[in-house]
Structure 1
Amino acid sequence: MKKILTLALLALVAIGANAAPKKKGNANSNKPVFTVVKQNPITSIKNQNRSGTCWDYATLSYFESEILRATGKTYDLCESFVANKTYMDRAIQVVRFHGDCQFAQGGSAYDPLYCLENYGICPQEAMPFPGSLTGDSLFNFNEFFSVLSPYVEAVAKSKSDKLSKQWKPGLQAILDAYLGKCPENFTYEGKNYTPKSFAASLGLNWSDYVTVTSYTHHPFYTQFAVEVQDNWRFPQSYNLPMDEMMQIIDNAIMNGYTVAWGGDVSEPGFTRDGLAYMIDSKKMQSLKGSDMARWLGLSASKKRSIIDSLGVNVPEITPTQAQRQERFDNWELTDDHGMLIFGIAKDQNGKEYYMVKNSWGETGAYKGIWYMTKNFIAANTMDYMVNKNAIPQNIRKKIGL
Structure 2
Amino acid sequence: MKNNLLILVFSFYASLLFCQSYEFKTIIDLEATEVLSQGKTGTCWSFSTSSFLESEIIRLTGNKIDISEMYNVRNTYPKKAWNYVMRQGKAQFSEGGLAHDVINSISENGLVPANVYSGLPKGKNIHDHEKLINNMKIVLDEYLKNPKAYNGNWKKDIDNILDEHLGNNITNFEFNGEIFTPLSFLEYTKINPKDYITITSFTHIPYYSNFILNIPDNFSNGTFFNVPLEDMVSITNHALKNGYTIELDCDVSEKTFSSKYGLAVIPNTEEDTMNILSKIRPEREITVAYRQQEFENFNTTDDHLMHITGIVEDQNGNRYYKVKNSWGFDSARVSNGGYIYMSEAYFKLKTISIMVHKNAIPKALLKT
Query: When the two structures are superposed, what TM-score results if normalisation uses the length of structure 1?
Result: 0.83
Structure 2 matches for 1:178-327, cutoff 5 A?
178-273=165-260, 274-280=262-268, 283-285=269-271, 304=274, 306-309=275-278, 311-313=279-281, 315-327=282-294
Q: Which amino acid is 1:100 matched to?
A: K
Please state if 1:84 is matched with 2:71.
no
Question: Corresponding residue for 1:75?
Answer: 65
Q: Which amino acid is 1:250 matched to?
A: N
How far the C-alpha of 1:206 sits from its partner, in A, is: 1.6
Structure 2 matches for 1:377-392, cutoff 5 A?
377-392=347-362
Please state if 1:355 is matched with 2:343.
no
Question: Corresponding residue for 2:7?
Answer: none
How far the C-alpha of 1:241 sits from its partner, in A, is: 0.5
| Cα distance in 1 between the residues matched to 2:258 and 2:102 | 28
Structure 2 matches for 1:124-135, cutoff 5 A?
124-127=114-117, 129-133=118-122, 135=123
1:143 to 115, 122, 131: 131
| Cα distance in 2 between the residues matched to 1:236 and 1:248 | 18
Q: Secondary structure at the match of 1:359?
A: coil
1:371 to 318, 341, 347: 341
Query: When the two structures are superposed, what TM-score results if normalisation uses the length of structure 2?
Result: 0.91
Q: Which amino acid is 1:203 matched to?
A: K
Q: Which amino acid is 2:338 matched to?
A: G
Q: Percent identity?
A: 34
Q: Secondary structure at the match of 2:189?
A: coil
**Is the contact made by 1:209 and 1:387 (CA closer than 8 Å) also made in structure 2?**
yes
Which ranges in structure 1 are unaligned for 5 or more consecutive residues?
1-28, 286-291, 293-302
How far the C-alpha of 1:263 sits from its partner, in A, is: 0.8
Question: Corresponding residue for 1:10?
Answer: none
Structure 1 pair 391–162 and aligned structure 2 pair: CA distance change class (3 A) = farther
**Is the contact made by 1:261 and 1:381 (CA closer than 8 Å) also made in structure 2?**
yes
Structure 1 pair 100–377 and aligned structure 2 pair: CA distance change class (3 A) = same
**Is the contact made by 1:278 and 1:317 (CA closer than 8 Å) also made in structure 2?**
yes
Q: Secondary structure at the match of 1:82?
A: helix
2:54 to 64, 74, 78: 64
Question: Corresponding residue for 1:5?
Answer: none
Q: Which amino acid is 2:147 matched to?
A: S
Aligned residues: 347
CA displacement, residues 310-357 of structure 1 (integer Å, 9 cap, x when unaligned):
x222x3111111111111111111110000001011001110000010
How far the C-alpha of 1:130 sits from its partner, in A, is: 4.2
Please state if 1:122 is matched with 2:108.
no
**Is the contact made by 1:186 and 1:194 (CA closer than 8 Å) also made in structure 2?**
yes
| Cα distance in 2 between the residues matched to 1:104 and 1:77 | 23
| Cα distance in 1 between the residues matched to 2:305 and 2:36 | 13
Q: Which amino acid is 2:188 matched to?
A: S
How far the C-alpha of 1:148 sits from its partner, in A, is: 2.1
| Cα distance in 2 between the residues matched to 1:329 and 1:369 | 29
**Is the contact made by 1:80 and 1:180 (CA closer than 8 Å) also made in structure 2?**
no
Q: Which amino acid is 1:395 matched to?
A: L
| Cα distance in 1 between the residues matched to 2:243 and 2:137 | 41
| Cα distance in 1 between the residues matched to 2:115 and 2:353 | 31
Q: Secondary structure at the match of 1:308?
A: coil
| Cα distance in 2 between the residues matched to 1:343 and 1:394 | 23
How far the C-alpha of 1:145 sits from its partner, in A, is: 2.0
**Is the contact made by 1:268 and 1:279 (CA closer than 8 Å) also made in structure 2?**
no
| Cα distance in 2 between the residues matched to 1:392 and 1:308 | 34
Question: Corresponding residue for 1:33?
Answer: 23
Q: Which amino acid is 2:69 matched to?
A: E
CA displacement, residues 350-390 of structure 1 (integer Å, 9 cap, x when unaligned):
10000010001114221111100011011101011101100
Structure 1 pair 389–142 and aligned structure 2 pair: CA distance change class (3 A) = same
How far the C-alpha of 1:164 sits from its partner, in A, is: 6.8
Q: Secondary structure at the match of 1:346?
A: strand
**Is the contact made by 1:49 and 1:138 (CA closer than 8 Å) also made in structure 2?**
yes
Q: Secondary structure at the match of 1:124?
A: coil
